[in-house]
Structure 1
Amino acid sequence: MAESTLESYPPLFRQTSNTNLGVDSDEPTKQVPDSDPLPVIDLQCINQAKLSEACRDWGMFRLVNHGIPTTLLSRLHEHARKLFSFTFESKQALFTRPMAYSWGTPALTPSGEVIEKGLNLNVQNLNWMEGFFAPLGQLSQLQTQDPMLDYFRLLLEEYGIHQFRLATTIFEAMAEDLKLCLKQSKSYLSPTTGMLRAYRYPRCPEALDQACGLDVHTDSSVLSILNQDEGGLQIYKDGDWIDVKPIPNTLVINLGDMMQAISNDKYLSAKHRVKVNKHKERISICYFVFPEEDTVIKSSKYKPFTYADFRAEVQQDLKTVGFKVGLQRFRLTKAC
Structure 2
Amino acid sequence: MGLTYASYPPLFRPLETQTQDTFEPENSAKQIPNSSDPLPLIDLQCLDPEKLREACTDWGIFRLVNHGIPPTLLEKLQEHTRTIFSIPFESKKALFKSPLLGYFWGTPLLTQSAVALSRGTNNIDWVEGFSVPLSQLSELQPQDSVIASFRLILEEYKEHLSRLATTLFKAMAKDLNLDLSRHNTYLSESTGFLRLYRYPQCSMADQNWGMEVHTDSSVLSILLQDEVGGLEAVKDNKWFNVDPIPNSLIVNIGDMMQAMSNDEYKSATHRVNLNKHKDRISICYFVFPADAHVILSSKYKPFTYNDFRAQVQEDTKNLGFKVGLDRFKVLHD
TM-score by length of structure 2 reads: 0.93
Identify the residue that residue 282 of structure 1 maps to in structure 2. 280
- The aligned residue for residue 49 of structure 1 is 50
Q: Structure 1: how far apart are the matches of 2:250 and 2:302?
A: 30
C-alpha contact 2:12 2:126 (8 A) present in aligned 1 = yes
Distance in 1 between the 2:56 and 2:229 partners? Answer: 22
1:172 Cα deviation from its structure 2 partner: 0.6
Q: Which amino acid aligns with 2:69?
A: I
For 1:68 and 1:141, the matched residues in 2 are separated by 25
List gaps (5 residues or longer) in structure 1: 109-113
CA RMSD of aligned residues (A): 1.7
Q: What do the CA deviations read for 1:51-93 (whole angstroms, capped 9, x no partner)? A: 1000001000000000001111000100000010011101111
* Contact residue 23 and residue 216 of structure 1 kept, 8 A: no
Residue 97 of structure 1: which of 96, 99, 109 is its match? 99
State the alpha-carbon separation in 1 of the partners of residues 72 and 44 from structure 2. 19
- In the alignment, the residues of structure 2 paired with residue 22 and residue 146 of structure 1 have an alpha-carbon distance, to the nearest angstrom, of 42
Secondary structure at 2:331's aligned position in 1?
A: coil
Matches within 5 A, 1:187-198: 187-198=185-196
1:62 aligns with 2:59: no
Q: In the alignment, what sits opposite 2:310?
A: 312
Q: From 8, 17, 24, give the equivalent of 1:20.
A: 24
After TM superposition, the score normalised by the length of structure 1 is: 0.93
User: Alignment identity in percent?
Assistant: 58
Which SS does the other structure have where 2:295 is aligned?
coil
Moved over 6 A (4+): none
Match for residue 33 of structure 2 among 29, 36, 54: 29
On the 8 A contact 1:22/1:127 being kept in 2, the answer is no
CA drift at 1:117: 5.9
> 2:169 — aligned with what?
171
- Could you say if the C-alpha distance between residues 133 and 279 of structure 1 is closer, same or farther in structure 2, counting changes exceeding 3 Å? same
Over 3 Å counting, the alpha-carbon distance change for 1:126 and 1:22 in structure 2 is farther
Q: How many residues align?
A: 324
Contact 2:218 2:255 in 1 (8 A): yes
- Structure 1 residues 248, 22: closer, same or farther in 2, change over 3 A? farther
Deviation at 1:15, TM superposition (A): 3.9
* 1:214 and 1:275 in contact (8 A); partners too: yes
What code does the residue aligned with 1:105 have? T
Structure 2, unpaired ranges of 5+? none
Rounded Cα–Cα distance in structure 2 between residues aligned with 1:93 and 1:273: 30
Q: Distance in 2 between matches of 1:104 and 1:163?
A: 26
Residues 205-228 of structure 1 show CA distances to partners (whole Å, capped at 9, x for unaligned) of 1x2311100111000000000000
Q: Report if the CA contact (8 A) 2:220-2:254 is conserved.
A: yes
